[in-house]
Chain A
Amino acid sequence: QKEVEQNSGPLSVPEGAIASLNCTYSDRGSQSFFWYRQYSGKSPELIMSIYSNGDKEDGRFTAQLNKASQYVSLLIRDSQPSDSATYLCAVLVWGKLQFGAGTQVVVTP
């Protein structure tokens, strides 16, 4: 079983709609969770971090964490073509980030 699992996609989302990305992790001791956005050929860019159960909103992004279910998600509201990228879920375990394989999001005009 992979440490951090994500659906690879691609997730096709109409412009203006909500993109919903999911991530599960295996280490119950994890306390810090991150979402990175990576454009093709570029390095990851941190877009959200979340540490406690519940929702955290930042602009058009909302991260949701449920430690009991070992589940973290990312919602992108009012999706724009510029949101087309691969979204990486990362979990901090013993000081090291463990990455999921990433979900490719394609926002169609």
Chain B
Amino acid sequence: GAVVSQHPSRVICKSGTSVKIECRSLDFQATTMFWYRQFPKQSLMLMATSNEGSKATYEQGVEKDKFLINHASLTLSTLTVTSAHPEDSSFYICSASSGLNEQFFGPGTRLTVL
């Protein structure tokens, strides 16, 4: 099956710093990658959709200047949380799609902002 990796799996940072999360599709080319956020006891909320070589499309309420997304290649997308604050602490999950209907999820990154 399709494999998606994320790095790091867990990160703790101080308030005001920036954190970069990488998402890679290991065995297929991902034309589209998605970034989700999941708070405890809640379902996944889509933050943004990114297509290789294009600007990301952000969902309503998601600050594009705070959550920077880069999709530079068909196998790599990055999410940078800039000037992180405690309320940004969450489980960030990427998914990748090869253009068909199915999305394959990475293992997630747990961000804790102190």
Contacts and interface: CB of A to CB of B under 8 A. Distances in A.
B103 interface: yes
Contacts, number: 42
A32 B93 CA distance: 21
A46 B102 contact: yes
A42 B110 CA distance: 10
A43 B106 contact: yes
B105 A45 contact: yes
Given A88-B43, A102-B43, A43 B101 contact: no
Interface residues of A, number: 20
A95 interface: yes
A99 interface: yes
Contacts of B32: 95
B114 interface: no
Contacts of A51: 101
Interface in A75-109: 88, 92, 95-97, 99-102
Nearest to A4: B43
B107 A42 contact: yes
B42 interface: yes
The contact size tier of chain B is: 10 to 19
Contact of B49 (A95, A99, A101): A95
A16 to B, nearest CB: 28
Contact of B93 (A43, A95, A100, A101): A43
A99 B44 contact: yes
B101 A92 contact: yes
A88 B101 contact: no
Contacts of B103: 46, 97
A49 interface: yes
Interface string B4-32: 00000000000000000000000000001
B58 interface: no
A73 B104 CA distance: 21
Interface of A: 32, 34, 36, 41-46, 49, 51, 88, 92, 95-97, 99-102
Closest 5 CB pairs of A and B: A43-B108, A32-B101, A43-B105, A99-B43, A101-B43
